[in-house]
Amino acid sequence: MALRGVRVLELAGLAPSPLCGMILADFGAQVVRVDRSPRSAMNADVQGRGKRSLALDLKQGPGAAALRRLCLRADVLVEPFRHGVLSKLGRKDENPYAPVNLLADFAGGGVMCAMGIIMALYERTKSGKGQVIDASMVEGAAYLSSFLWKSQNLGLWNRLRGENLLDSGAPFYETYKTLDGKFMAVGAIEPQFYEQLVKGLGLDSDKLPSQLSFSDWPEMKKMFAAIFSKKTQAEWCRIFDGIDACVTPVLSLDEVALHEHNKERSSFIKNDQEEISPRPSPLLSRTPATPSPKRDPFIGEHTEEILLEFGFTKEEIAKLHSEKVIEFNKPKANL
């Protein structure tokens, strides 16, 4: 895979850093998650695919020293703390991250961080030097919204919230409830798609206001909503299937992996626990990601083998264990 041979240390955290680590692992990197003690922390990382776990108490001097020693053999260190915390290993009562959300934590944080790491690894092949990637979720989310900033002069956002083209103001860019309580998503912005939408709804475009007649949008939305409410989601899918109207069903998590498009693309995968998750993206033609089929690691499951790989002797490992700097958590065999 593309990142084969790259060694990554990921300090356990919430949301952005686990996703970043999982992306790197999916594309071939050897990712070691440095966890807190199993006794004092919940294993909240549901993005542990392809990682191994080392339980290490960084608040003790020997634990911090062990981390610095691990870093000597690593290519990448991913840490989720606030600025300056890593340099003060041992600080108590760090505030938790905000609740999970796709825009800031995952897109603005985790994906941007992974992208920065890959760019830095590529640049290292030319300069031979490493660098620090500062991935701010706020700045990452702002960068993702570049279109919003740069399109302000196009008249897309000059009305009140909920009255603009892309914020549910337009009747042709909205979700509508169906007869069976499900929803259809409509995104027919371009005129040719809008024309197909109108036909699918059984309407005559010549008898309707202009598509961009903003003053008529509220009444148009009511009309579209009333029409969508008279048929089930399945019935609307049959009507719009194969028509370029940009009308699609809003699927539940259970339904999305079973959708024909996603099955044909193999967009979802299962691990050996039969858990379903999205396939890594993007799809590389020559060195595609091959995500691990194994379950996520238990905290401390690989402590000993990781330290041995990074040059620690068995005597040093035994001493760290006796001082409760590290912990082992070998899963019991099911007989």
Is residue 291 reached through a cis peptide bond, with omega within 30 degrees of 0 on the bond before it?
no
Contact 86, 92 (CB under 8 A): no
Q: Catalytic amino acids?
A: 105
Backbone angles phi, psi at 193, to 5 degrees: -75, -40
Task: Classify residue 214 as exposed, middle or buried by CB count within 10 Å of its CB (0-12, 13-18, 19+).
Answer: middle
If phi > 0 it is left, if psi is from -120 to 50 it is alpha, else beta; for residue 10 that is: beta
Backbone angles phi, psi at 176, to 5 degrees: -130, 140
The one-letter code for the residue type at 173 is: Y
H helix or E strand, kind and range, residue 239: helix 233-240
